[in-house]
A and B are shown apart, each in its own frame.
Chain A
Amino acid sequence: MTVPDLTARPIRIAIIGSGPAAFYAADYLLKPRARVAQIDLFDKLPTPFGLVRAGVAPDHQKIKSVTKIYDAVAANPNFRFFGNVEYGKHLSLADLKNYYHQILFATGAQTDRKMDIPGEELRGSYTATEFVAWYNGHPDYREREFDLAQECAAIVGVGNVAVDVARILSRTPDELAKTDIADYALDALRASQLKKIYLLGRRGPAQAAFTNPEIKELGELADADAIIAPQEAALDELSRAALDREKDPLTLKKTQLIQEIAARAPAGKSRQLYIRFLVSPVELIGDSNGHVIKMRVVKNKLAQSESGSLNAHATDQFEELPVNLVFRSVGYRGIALPEIPFNDRFGTILNQMGRVLDSTTHSPVTGLFCSGWIKRGPSGVIGTNKPDSVETANAMLEDIAAEKMFAPAHARAEQAAEFIRARQPNFFSYADWKKLDALEVARGAAQGRPRVKFTSVPEMIAALGRA
């Protein structure tokens, strides 16, 4: 790609969001050959890293070390972070066009998908999205309450998020106390009365969305027995045939891990974690107070679609599970941003390989881009956002080379900073974050934990001595 001489006119880019997608894009765009002068990263939270801070499970600390890579990006003198600044609240599209040549949205998937069954809104029925954000100390969710005084819970879905929720509900207080789980969540989980937890997959073992290390870990919990009925661990004919045909080693391994758990006798641990396959919830049933007391599920069988996918189809057999707590974990979903074309069917920004498209003409809108979960939907691990963001960043560089971008009236970095300060005097810089980070880690060290998080914005402002 030919890169224009930009020394005379420094290109400035705004990135909305500070999760993995944002940082991988910033990293690529700040490479010397890209010749982008400066990147400002905004997040509605005072703290950066998106789901790496507010999603990744507290007992999986090692994963969070990816932030070292993001720290290195932030160390670039042409990078600035403005936390506690929200697109749609503090900044509008027109504002950004006044200060930047290009805008990249990397806002992730901020809400959840629904099951669309009766009773979904009963008391005691929650979403994994809110539960995860709560136990990870996300400021917008810290006031939520989860009724853990119940004995039997069901988690719907068998993706890695469902597994995270199952693990956090199954861990002992001592195990959790060594993590950076939010203090209020630790207290609530300490008082948990849960004895039985169901994890419900609508398809069979070979189609389960969880990955192999995750299911293996469920089989090795300190004080919870993972239990799988042998007949549900066995593969049906279609799955067996597909496995024989495709010989996918990871799926083969997954089915073996599942069968190993199924073959094991429970060791009499305090909690039982029942992993079920080929069942779909059809209704949540409440008591006279509107609290869940039962879940009706239908048994499924698999059928092959013409494209070869093995999908769940309901039979006429039903079963009732005596659950009084439900977490649906059937996927996240992006939310529409003001003035940005949205694909409501998929819950993503309307885009083509990262270029935002006009809702009527479906042709690219100059200057607007997206990457990460808001571009492709809520799928993939942290690193998957790297190739995704590189694709978008290349489209951005192509447009810069073709001179297709905004012509901001105030194209100097100081002008943008001044404007942001006027809109949000309490913004957090990266240096502010590093101070918070050091304080959190120090609070953690005192208790033998990786960190003790600040979970409210006023608390964070006070910690910086600004209140």
Chain B
Amino acid sequence: MKIANILSAKGMNVFTVAPNQLLREAIHLLVQHNVGALVVAEKSDKPIGIITERDVVRAAAGNENFFAVRVGDVMTKDVITAAPEDDVKSVGQTMTTRRFRHMPILDRGKMVGIISIGDVLKAQLEEYEGLIETLNAQIAPG
């Protein structure tokens, strides 16, 4: 199974925020779109970072005025990306061992989506359920 098989059913929206926007705006976007992470980018081209719920909480923990902090100052830089043709299994493994929950997807340099560890686990669970269902159907009495 490829990342494309997850992305196909996730719509085409990638929610981005610019590095000079404030956390106030980022939080608003997270809530408005009901997502756990935003890609930080100048336009919707190559991501320069990612900002997640966790980053927001971490920023708030040490700073009473965290609403006014700039996204670029608390985002995770050096964001790891995947491609639609990458294997879901390897991507899931990388997310688990390196302990991050979101990966922007780049298709020939253009951002086409973002997937979460939840998406990966759901896809793997469905693949597994599918195998069981297919096997059960064959042994069910006719």
Q: Chain A: which residue is nearest B123 at the CB level?
A: A376
Known: A343-B12, A362-B13. A384 touches B7 (CB 8 A): no
Contact A353 B9, beta carbon cutoff 8 Å: yes
Chain A contact surface mostly? mixed
Contact bitstring B1-14, A, C-beta under 8 A = 1, else 0 = 11011111111110
Contact bitstring A290-334, B, C-beta under 8 A = 1, else 0 = 000000000000000111111100000000000000000000000
A375 to B126, CA, bound (A): 14
Chain B residues with CB under 8 Å of A84's CB are none
Chain A residues with CB under 8 Å of B125's CB are 387
Select one of B81, B103, B130 contacting A386, CB under 8 A: B130
Chain A residues with CB under 8 Å of B2's CB are 377, 379
Query: Does A237 interact with chain B (Cβ within 8 Å)?
Result: no
Query: Does A339 interact with chain B (Cβ within 8 Å)?
Result: no
Query: Does B63 interact with chain A (Cβ within 8 Å)?
Result: no
Contact bitstring A32-66, B, C-beta under 8 A = 1, else 0 = 00000000000000000000000000000011011
B130 shortest CB reach to chain A, Å? 3
Contact B84 A307, beta carbon cutoff 8 Å: no
Chain B residues with CB under 8 Å of A69's CB are 137, 140
Contact B1 A380, beta carbon cutoff 8 Å: yes
A354 to B48, CA, bound (A): 31
Contact B81 A384, beta carbon cutoff 8 Å: no
Query: Does A207 interact with chain B (Cβ within 8 Å)?
Result: yes
Q: Which of A182-235 contact B (CB under 8 A)?
A: 207
Contact B89 A383, beta carbon cutoff 8 Å: no
Contact B93 A346, beta carbon cutoff 8 Å: no
Query: Does A174 interact with chain B (Cβ within 8 Å)?
Result: no
Select one of B12, B83, B142 contacting A357, CB under 8 A: B12
A62 to B134, CA, bound (A): 11
Q: Chain B: which residue is nearest A370 at the CB level?
A: B9
A463 shortest CB reach to chain B, Å? 24
Select one of B10, B93, B103, B126 contacting A384, CB under 8 A: B126
Known: A305-B82, A362-B13. A382 touches B7 (CB 8 A): no
Chain A residues with CB under 8 Å of B93's CB are 242, 245-246, 308
Q: Which of A336-368 contact B (CB under 8 A)?
A: 343, 345-346, 348, 350-354, 357, 362
A353 to B13, CA, bound (A): 13
B64 shortest CB reach to chain A, Å? 37
Contact B138 A62, beta carbon cutoff 8 Å: yes
Contact B142 A68, beta carbon cutoff 8 Å: yes
Query: Does A255 interact with chain B (Cβ within 8 Å)?
Result: no
Contact A377 B5, beta carbon cutoff 8 Å: yes
Q: Chain A: which residue is nearest B139 at the CB level?
A: A65
Chain A residues with CB under 8 Å of B140's CB are 65, 68-69
Contact A380 B130, beta carbon cutoff 8 Å: yes
Q: How large is the interface on B (under 10, 10 to 19, 20 to 34, 35 or more residues)?
A: 35 or more
Chain A residues with CB under 8 Å of B138's CB are 62-63, 65-66
Query: Does B42 interact with chain A (Cβ within 8 Å)?
Result: no
Query: Does A385 interact with chain B (Cβ within 8 Å)?
Result: yes
A65 to B83, CA, bound (A): 37
Chain B residues with CB under 8 Å of A386's CB are 129-130, 133
Known: A383-B137, A385-B130, A386-B130. A309 touches B91 (CB 8 A): yes
Contact B7 A380, beta carbon cutoff 8 Å: no
A362 to B5, CA, bound (A): 18
A388 to B133, CA, bound (A): 12
Q: Report which residue of B4, B9, B131, B133 has the largest number of chain A beta carbons within 10 angstroms of its beta carbon.
A: B9
A276 to B117, CA, bound (A): 34
Chain B residues with CB under 8 Å of A265's CB are none
Q: Which of B60-119 contact A (CB under 8 A)?
A: 80-87, 89-91, 93-94, 97, 103, 107, 112
Query: Does A462 interact with chain B (Cβ within 8 Å)?
Result: no
Select one of B8, B85, B97, B103 contacting A311, CB under 8 A: B85
Known: A311-B86, A346-B7, A377-B5. A66 touches B137 (CB 8 A): yes
Chain B residues with CB under 8 Å of A116's CB are none
Contact A384 B87, beta carbon cutoff 8 Å: no
Chain B residues with CB under 8 Å of A385's CB are 130
Chain B residues with CB under 8 Å of A63's CB are 134, 138
Chain B residues with CB under 8 Å of A346's CB are 4, 7-8, 84
A343 to B85, CA, bound (A): 16
A309 to B2, CA, bound (A): 10
Select one of A305, A348, A387 contacting B129, CB under 8 A: A387
Query: Does B127 interact with chain A (Cβ within 8 Å)?
Result: yes
**A to B CB contacts below 8 Å, 16 in the list:** A66-B137, A207-B87, A307-B80, A307-B82, A307-B91, A309-B87, A309-B90, A343-B12, A345-B107, A350-B12, A362-B11, A376-B8, A382-B130, A383-B134, A384-B129, A386-B133
Other than the given A62-B138, A343-B8, A385-B130, 17 more pairs (CB < 8 A) read A66-B134, A66-B137, A242-B90, A307-B91, A309-B91, A345-B107, A351-B9, A353-B9, A375-B8, A375-B9, A376-B8, A377-B8, A380-B126, A383-B130, A384-B134, A386-B133, A387-B130
Which B residues form the contact surface with A (CB < 8 A)?
Answer: 1-2, 4-13, 80-87, 89-91, 93-94, 97, 103, 107, 112, 125-127, 129-138, 140, 142
List the 7 closest pairs (A to B, CB-CB), nearest first: A383-B133, A384-B130, A308-B94, A307-B82, A309-B86, A352-B11, A383-B134
